[in-house]
Amino acid sequence: MEGKSSQEYLEIKKLAHNEPKVLHQMLQILAENIGDYACYMADSGAQVIQIFDSWAATLSPRDYDEFCLPYQKIVVQRLKAKHPDLPIIMYIKNSGALLERMAQSGVDMISVDWTVSLDDAKKRLDAVRPGIGVQGNLDPAILLSQNPALIKERTEEILAMGGGQGHVMNLGHGIEAATSEESTAFFVDTVKAWRP
């Protein structure tokens, strides 16, 4: 739609506001196909599926409710119809304002980036869907610090907020290419060693 990589998604937003019926038709087809593809991955042995919605956080809450949430639900429903016990995670970068809406998608877990504290995210999500899991949310830049004490402190702080249950420790986004193997290994070892 954009013709190149985009941060603002202005072309698809223009379509949403000028020709919403066309966009809804496209989103319906995409959601059904993504749901079918996720089923194929599960049929082939995937033990968990994570849905990434790249443009969702650029939308107003009203537009998210119209152009994202219904189609996220289609993907989840198609997958759950065939694989009811398969865990599904939803990730939207910069989604702090959307957490409660994301929980309405039917996923089992919300992946939280570092722009919201994990304890706050858990409280907000629990108010909408008690017991929904959370994943995240260490800022990947912390691993660039090469300071083991800082990595340990920030990692253990998040683990404590997670409470040792219903939380998968992870970065709040992908690992940066410049991250050293030593910092990465220290992070993983810190997570493995932590006990509530």
For position 39, what pLDDT does the model report?
98
Helix (H) or strand (E) holding 71: helix 69-82
Mean pLDDT, residues 98-107 taken together = 96
- Judged on CB neighbours under 10 Å (0-12, 13-18, 19+), 145 is middle
The CATH class that applies to domain 1-134 reads alpha beta
Q: Which phi and psi (to 5°) does residue 30 adopt? A: -60, -45
pTM: 0.91
Question: Which of 175, 114, 102 lies closest to 139 in space, CA to CA?
Answer: 114
Contact 94, 57 (CB under 8 A): yes
The mean per-residue pLDDT over the stretch 168-184 comes to 94
Mean pLDDT calculated for residue range 104-116 = 95
E-state strands within 11-108: 49-52, 88-91
State residue 7's pLDDT score.
81
Instruction: Tell me what pLDDT residue 128 has.
Output: 94
- pLDDT score at 3: 77
pLDDT for the residue numbered 1: 74
Q: What is the pLDDT of residue 8?
A: 86
Average pLDDT, the chain: 95
Which pLDDT score, from 0 to 100, does residue 146 have?
A: 80
Which of 101, 80, 84 minimizes the C-alpha distance to 92? 101
Beta sheet of 167-168, edge-to-edge order: 49-52, 88-91, 109-112, 133-136, 167-168
The candidate with the shortest Cα–Cα distance to 166, out of 100, 89, 94, is 89
* Interval 2-22 mean pLDDT: 89
Which of the four pLDDT bands, split at 50, 70 and 90, describes residue 4?
confident
Residues of the chain with CATH 3.20.20.210: 1-134
> Residue 196: its pLDDT value, please?
85
Note whether 133 and 167 are within 8 A (CB): yes
